[in-house]
Amino acid sequence: MTCYYPSGAIADGLMPCNTTAGAVSSCCRVGDVCLTNGFCFSAGQNSLIRRGCTDRTFNSTLCPQGCLTGEGSNVDVVMTPCGDYTYFCCGQDNASRACCTLGNGTVLVAAGTAILPTATVTNTNAIAGTASITSCLSTSTSSASASNNSCETTNSTVPIEAGLGAALGIAIITAAGFAILWRQNAKRVRDLSRPPRPGGLMDQ
Protein backbone atom coordinates (compact mmCIF):
# COMPACT_ATOMS: atom_id res chain seq x y z
CA MET A 1 0.00 0.00 0.00
CA THR A 2 1.14 3.55 -0.72
CA CYS A 3 1.48 6.12 2.04
CA TYR A 4 0.64 9.78 1.50
CA TYR A 5 1.11 13.11 3.23
CA PRO A 6 -1.89 15.41 3.86
CA SER A 7 -1.01 17.36 0.71
CA GLY A 8 -1.61 14.20 -1.33
CA ALA A 9 2.08 13.75 -2.11
CA ILE A 10 3.51 10.23 -1.89
CA ALA A 11 5.34 9.78 1.41
CA ASP A 12 8.53 7.93 0.50
CA GLY A 13 10.06 5.98 3.36
CA LEU A 14 6.82 5.55 5.28
CA MET A 15 5.24 2.13 5.83
CA PRO A 16 1.62 1.24 6.73
CA CYS A 17 1.02 0.16 10.31
CA ASN A 18 -1.77 -2.15 9.11
CA THR A 19 -1.09 -4.21 6.00
CA THR A 20 -4.54 -5.79 5.68
CA ALA A 21 -5.63 -5.56 2.04
CA GLY A 22 -8.08 -2.74 1.49
CA ALA A 23 -7.76 -1.36 5.01
CA VAL A 24 -6.96 2.29 5.67
CA SER A 25 -3.87 2.65 7.81
CA SER A 26 -1.71 5.30 9.35
CA CYS A 27 1.92 5.21 8.21
CA CYS A 28 5.09 5.46 10.27
CA ARG A 29 8.83 5.08 9.75
CA VAL A 30 11.00 2.09 10.60
CA GLY A 31 11.55 2.01 14.37
CA ASP A 32 8.44 4.07 15.19
CA VAL A 33 5.70 2.84 17.49
CA CYS A 34 2.34 3.02 15.72
CA LEU A 35 -0.38 4.55 17.89
CA THR A 36 -4.11 3.94 17.70
CA ASN A 37 -4.78 7.65 17.17
CA GLY A 38 -2.90 7.57 13.86
CA PHE A 39 0.22 9.32 15.10
CA CYS A 40 3.68 7.79 15.46
CA PHE A 41 5.99 7.79 18.48
CA SER A 42 9.70 8.03 17.72
CA ALA A 43 11.91 6.65 20.49
CA GLY A 44 14.98 8.23 18.91
CA GLN A 45 13.40 11.68 19.00
CA ASN A 46 11.22 10.97 22.05
CA SER A 47 8.42 12.72 20.22
CA LEU A 48 4.92 12.34 18.85
CA ILE A 49 5.02 12.78 15.07
CA ARG A 50 2.34 13.27 12.45
CA ARG A 51 3.49 11.26 9.47
CA GLY A 52 1.26 9.76 6.77
CA CYS A 53 -1.76 7.65 5.86
CA THR A 54 -2.86 5.30 3.08
CA ASP A 55 -5.99 7.45 2.63
CA ARG A 56 -4.78 10.21 0.33
CA THR A 57 -7.56 12.53 1.50
CA PHE A 58 -6.91 11.97 5.23
CA ASN A 59 -10.68 11.90 5.71
CA SER A 60 -10.55 8.54 7.47
CA THR A 61 -10.48 8.68 11.27
CA LEU A 62 -7.70 6.07 11.07
CA CYS A 63 -5.41 8.77 9.70
CA PRO A 64 -3.68 11.19 12.09
CA GLN A 65 -5.90 14.21 12.61
CA GLY A 66 -3.74 17.24 13.24
CA CYS A 67 -1.11 19.42 11.55
CA LEU A 68 -2.60 18.69 8.13
CA THR A 69 -2.24 22.11 6.50
CA GLY A 70 0.41 24.74 5.91
CA GLU A 71 4.09 24.16 5.21
CA GLY A 72 4.06 20.81 6.99
CA SER A 73 1.39 19.25 4.80
CA ASN A 74 3.93 17.38 2.65
CA VAL A 75 6.48 16.36 5.32
CA ASP A 76 6.61 14.65 8.70
CA VAL A 77 5.72 17.03 11.53
CA VAL A 78 7.21 16.61 15.01
CA MET A 79 4.69 17.74 17.63
CA THR A 80 5.51 20.02 20.55
CA PRO A 81 3.65 18.99 23.73
CA CYS A 82 1.98 21.79 25.63
CA GLY A 83 2.08 20.88 29.31
CA ASP A 84 0.49 17.54 30.10
CA TYR A 85 0.57 15.87 26.64
CA THR A 86 -3.08 16.70 26.05
CA TYR A 87 -2.54 19.58 23.64
CA PHE A 88 0.20 19.88 21.04
CA CYS A 89 1.45 22.44 18.56
CA CYS A 90 2.75 21.63 15.10
CA GLY A 91 6.52 21.69 14.78
CA GLN A 92 9.36 22.27 17.22
CA ASP A 93 10.43 25.82 16.47
CA ASN A 94 9.87 29.24 18.04
CA ALA A 95 6.45 29.53 16.42
CA SER A 96 5.27 26.24 17.89
CA ARG A 97 6.56 27.17 21.34
CA ALA A 98 4.71 30.47 21.08
CA CYS A 99 1.65 28.50 20.01
CA CYS A 100 1.83 26.56 23.29
CA THR A 101 2.41 29.69 25.36
CA LEU A 102 -0.47 31.61 23.82
CA GLY A 103 -2.76 28.62 23.37
CA ASN A 104 -3.62 29.70 19.85
CA GLY A 105 -3.99 26.91 17.31
CA THR A 106 -3.19 24.03 19.64
CA VAL A 107 -4.14 20.52 18.52
CA LEU A 108 -6.18 18.39 20.91
CA VAL A 109 -4.89 14.88 20.18
CA ALA A 110 -7.18 11.90 20.72
CA ALA A 111 -6.13 9.25 23.22
CA GLY A 112 -3.61 6.88 21.71
CA THR A 113 -1.97 3.65 22.81
CA ALA A 114 0.48 1.40 21.00
CA ILE A 115 -1.07 -0.86 18.39
CA LEU A 116 -0.39 -4.27 19.91
CA PRO A 117 0.95 -6.91 19.84
CA THR A 118 2.94 -5.68 16.84
CA ALA A 119 3.36 -1.98 17.32
CA THR A 120 6.78 -1.24 15.88
CA VAL A 121 7.27 -0.72 12.16
CA THR A 122 10.08 -2.79 10.63
CA ASN A 123 11.33 -3.26 7.09
CA THR A 124 9.41 -6.50 6.61
CA ASN A 125 5.65 -6.62 7.12
CA ALA A 126 5.62 -10.33 7.81
CA ILE A 127 2.41 -10.63 9.81
CA ALA A 128 -0.76 -10.08 7.81
CA GLY A 129 -2.86 -7.25 9.17
CA THR A 130 -0.16 -5.57 11.23
CA ALA A 131 3.36 -4.28 10.99
CA SER A 132 5.98 -6.76 12.15
CA ILE A 133 7.76 -6.06 15.45
CA THR A 134 11.40 -6.78 16.19
CA SER A 135 12.39 -4.29 18.84
CA CYS A 136 10.60 -1.33 20.34
CA LEU A 137 13.99 0.28 20.89
CA SER A 138 15.17 0.21 17.29
CA THR A 139 16.27 3.55 15.85
CA SER A 140 14.37 5.30 13.09
CA THR A 141 16.26 5.35 9.78
CA SER A 142 15.15 8.85 8.90
CA SER A 143 14.74 12.03 10.87
CA ALA A 144 11.41 13.79 10.81
CA SER A 145 11.03 17.28 9.49
CA ALA A 146 9.97 19.54 12.30
CA SER A 147 8.57 22.65 10.71
CA ASN A 148 4.99 23.79 10.46
CA ASN A 149 4.27 27.33 11.53
CA SER A 150 0.57 27.04 10.73
CA CYS A 151 -1.21 25.43 13.68
CA GLU A 152 -4.76 24.19 13.68
CA THR A 153 -7.39 22.88 16.09
CA THR A 154 -9.08 19.53 15.58
CA ASN A 155 -12.47 18.29 16.77
CA SER A 156 -11.01 15.41 18.79
CA THR A 157 -12.27 15.46 22.36
CA VAL A 158 -10.32 12.74 24.20
CA PRO A 159 -6.87 13.64 25.63
CA ILE A 160 -3.89 11.29 25.68
CA GLU A 161 -4.32 9.00 28.66
CA ALA A 162 -0.65 8.55 29.57
CA GLY A 163 2.81 9.89 28.80
CA LEU A 164 4.09 8.98 25.38
CA GLY A 165 7.12 7.25 26.83
CA ALA A 166 4.87 4.59 28.32
CA ALA A 167 4.01 3.37 24.82
CA LEU A 168 7.39 1.70 24.48
CA GLY A 169 7.12 -0.15 27.79
CA ILE A 170 3.57 -1.24 27.02
CA ALA A 171 4.61 -2.56 23.62
CA ILE A 172 7.51 -4.56 25.06
CA ILE A 173 5.46 -6.02 27.93
CA THR A 174 2.49 -6.90 25.76
CA ALA A 175 4.66 -8.45 23.05
CA ALA A 176 6.32 -10.63 25.70
CA GLY A 177 2.94 -11.64 27.10
CA PHE A 178 1.72 -12.47 23.61
CA ALA A 179 4.73 -14.74 23.06
CA ILE A 180 4.05 -16.60 26.32
CA LEU A 181 0.38 -17.11 25.44
CA TRP A 182 1.34 -18.27 21.96
CA ARG A 183 3.66 -20.93 23.38
CA GLN A 184 1.00 -22.08 25.85
CA ASN A 185 -1.60 -22.38 23.10
CA ALA A 186 0.83 -24.27 20.87
CA LYS A 187 1.42 -26.81 23.67
CA ARG A 188 -2.34 -27.30 24.10
CA VAL A 189 -2.70 -27.91 20.36
CA ARG A 190 0.09 -30.51 20.45
CA ASP A 191 -1.50 -32.23 23.45
CA LEU A 192 -4.91 -32.37 21.79
CA SER A 193 -3.42 -33.75 18.58
CA ARG A 194 -1.88 -36.79 20.32
CA PRO A 195 -3.77 -40.08 20.01
CA PRO A 196 -5.60 -41.01 23.22
CA ARG A 197 -4.25 -43.71 25.49
CA PRO A 198 -6.19 -46.92 25.94
CA GLY A 199 -9.22 -46.14 28.06
CA GLY A 200 -9.71 -42.71 26.45
CA LEU A 201 -7.11 -40.88 28.59
CA MET A 202 -4.70 -38.41 26.99
CA ASP A 203 -1.14 -37.61 28.03
CA GLN A 204 -0.97 -34.89 30.64
* 160 domain-assigned: yes
CA angle (135, 6, 156) in 5-degree steps: 80
- What's the confidence (pLDDT) of residue 68? 95
- What's the confidence (pLDDT) of residue 127? 30
Q: How far apart are CA 129 and CA 132, in angstroms?
A: 9
Q: Is 120 helix (H, G, I), strand (E, B) or coil?
A: strand
* 147 domain-assigned: yes
* 2 domain-assigned: no
- What's the confidence (pLDDT) of residue 25? 95
- What's the confidence (pLDDT) of residue 62? 94
Domain count, the chain: 1
- What's the confidence (pLDDT) of residue 86? 85
* 198 domain-assigned: no
Task: Give the pLDDT confidence of 153-166 residue by residue, as tens digits.
Answer: 333 333 333 344 44
**C-beta atoms surrounding 125 within 10 Å:** 18
- What's the confidence (pLDDT) of residue 7? 97
Q: Domain residues for 49?
A: 15-193
* 1 domain-assigned: no
What residues of the chain score a pLDDT lower than 50? 117-118, 124-193, 200-204
Is pTM beyond 0.75? Reply is no
* 204 domain-assigned: no
* 50 domain-assigned: yes
* 86 domain-assigned: yes
